[in-house]
Structures are given as structure tokens and as C-alpha cells.
Amino acid sequence: MANKFETEVLHSIHTEQKGIKSKATPIYQTSAFTFNDLDELEGFYQGEGSYLYSRVGNPNTDELGQSVAALEHAEDGVAASSGLAAILAGVLAVVKNGDHIVAADDVYGGSFHMLKAELERFGVETTFVSFSDLDKVEQAIKHNTKLLYTESITNPLLRVEKLEEVIALAKKRNLTVLVDNTFATPLHVRPFLLGADLVVHSATKYIGGHSDVTSGVVVGKKELIAEARARIVNLGANLSPFEAWLTCRGLKTLALRMKAQSKNAMLLADSLSGHQNVAKVYYPFSEGEEGFGAIVTIELAEHVDTDLLFKSLGWVKIVPTLAGVETTVSHPLKTSHRALPPEAQAELGITYRLVRISVGIENSDDIIEQFEAALAAAGK
């Protein structure tokens, strides 16, 4: 296999069935598969057949899981109905009632809510702590801790995780590591190669890339993916064949999109640094010469009218998500981190003046000019 990402992303996996040499994988838009007789049906349950029912498995969903696994250089992968479903499957592959998780306190708000509000109802406790201080992480580990959970680039404050250090701590304490790699994508970092056990993606975002699909993928060690797959099947968190096909189609342009978007993001972040109407710019400048991720988060200066900024963005759309090819903005306090307790929001800096920008593939000058115009209008 070629070792350059641009080639890998196009040729990593192609599902070919029954010798039909289609250039693109067909859509297997079926709820079930047929059998010639009862012996063949029984053969499926004995491991001799591939497909039974699309909740259990489908060539399109398999292609997505295996393709992302190949890009992450992981042993196996499985697709799910959303990024959060993939996270849940990854977590439940490791923990059960009575177990404990240590999670980064600056993760995506949906992940925070799932771990804190939902899993605790079923007897899985989570302690949230700053992963910027690994001494605090180690202090939070208990006798029943099974999992360390973090993000390669955090949402929305774009802290770049010290993955090697987190993984080293986990190995020392015999813990499993799950990393959400949605913001970085395999183009920028491959956590499994660094020693992570599980890696998840909200494939809705950069893997799919065109804001027209909701999907998730979890990849990692083979035995853990077997457990994750069982949770997806048994909890009904499977992805539909058509959405898997759409996500795979989007995946083929990941390298082109992510490189262009990351470069544009770095240029935008640089242009807004020091702007009189911007109090702070969050962007990992030091991580890549042509950008490191396509998200820029800014904190507006106190004199800037946040509501007016959102009304002055022209062609830049306001959305509750990210990662399409068009530049968009969201308001973390009102969307992604709405469910966090007020004290957690305040401690992290998720304020009314925080704006998360998902940078697209437009001309960088046009992106910069649009935000400068909006800031000028809101700063009067």
C-alpha cells in the first residue's frame, strides 16, 4: 500500500462483491440478505457467511469502518449512526456498571452530557479533570478506573492533547485510552499509532465533509472493536447503507479538503490575532506550517456586540455543527456546550463572547474580509 496520505485515502478499501468490478462500491440498500437454504442460513451463524441483516452488517457500513481503520492504521473499525453513537460504543466496549472513567474536562459538550448525565444512570461514574496537568489526571484514577477519554484537539478551545504522555500514563496504570480524533482527522494525527486503544470520529464532520450525512466510526484494537460492534448491533446504533455510502464518497476528498481548510484556518487565525475587536484567538499555530485543523475559535472583546456580529456575517452561515466545505460559525454556549453546568462553562471559558468558526475552502481573502467586516460592524 502507498504510504502517502493522499493515496491512502483514495485506495485504502474498496468493497467488491461476487467478482463485479465496479469502480465505485454499489449501494446495498437492503434491510436483509437472502439464503438458498437452511444450511446456508446456519452457516452465517457459524461464521461462514458475511451478511444477514443490515443492522448486523452491510457491505457499505463495513467499507466505512474498514476505510477509516486503514487511514488510522488501526486493526479494525466499525461504523455507527452518529459520532456520539460511535463514542458510546467505544466507551461501552471497555466499561460496565461499577466502573470509572477519567475524562478531559474540555471535551465536546455532547460527550460530557453522555458521560455525566446518561452513563451515570447506569452505574458508570466519570471524573472530569484538566488533562493539561497529568498529575491531576493520575490523582483522579481510582481502583475501578478503566478508561481515559480525551480529544486530540479539544472542542471548542482547540487545546492539542499531549497524546504520548496520556498514553504513557494509561499504560503505566493498565488503563484503556479512547481518543476522539474528529477535529484533527488522520491527516494531522493518528492516535492509534501513538498507542491509543480506540479512536473515534464523528464522521458527520470531516470524514463525510459535505454536511449531508450523520455518521460515526470507532476504530482500534480488534478485540475492542468486536465489543464495540456488538454494542452497535444490540443497541440498534447501526448506520444505514446509503449514509455509509455517502460518507465513503466524502472520505475520498478528505486530504484535499482538510489541507485547504487547515491552511485557510491558520490564515484567518493569524489575521484576527491582535485585532482590536478580538480579545483572544484559539488556534494551534505551532503544530503545522500550513495549519493544524480547520477550526478557529475567538473570544470577542468586551465592547463588541456578539448578537450584532452574528447578524453581520453575510454569506457565512450560523449552524450548530462544523466541518462542511463552507465556512460557518456557531455559538458554543448556546449549542455544543449548552448542557454543561454553568460553573463548568465559566471554568472553561465558554462565555457568551466565544465564537467557533469552521473554516471552509473558499478563497482565504474572502473569508478574512467577511470576518473583518462583521467585526467592524459589531464593534461600533
Active centre residues (catalytic): 55, 108, 180, 205
The 10 Å Cβ neighbour count of residue 122 is 10
Q: How many other β-carbons are positioned within 10 Å of the β-carbon of residue 195? A: 15
How far apart CA 229 and CA 247 sit, in angstroms, is: 18
Quote the CA–CA distance of 151 and 200 in Å, as a whole number: 9
CB 115 within 8 A of CB 104: no
Which three-class secondary structure string do you get for 294-349?
CEEEEEECCCCCHHHHHHCCCCCEECCCCCCCCCEEECCCCCCCCCCCHHHHHHHC
**Distance between CA atoms of residues 178 and 335, nearest Å:** 24
Which residues have C-beta within 8 Å of that of residue 126, sequence separation ≥ 6? 100, 101, 102, 103, 115, 116, 119, 120, 149
Amino acid, single-letter form, for residue 355: V
Cell of 347: 471554568
Measuring CA to CA, which residue among 76, 59, 68 is closest to residue 16?
A: 59
Dist. CA 366–CA 350, nearest whole Å: 28
Number of neighbouring beta carbons within 10 Å of residue 237: 22
Instruction: Label residue 377 exposed, middle or buried (CB < 10 Å: 0-12, 13-18, 19+).
Output: middle
Residue pair 169/140 in contact (Cβ under 8 Å)? The answer is no
**Residue 76 Cα to chain centre, angstroms:** 17
Quick check: 327 and 360 in contact, CB under 8 A?
Answer: yes
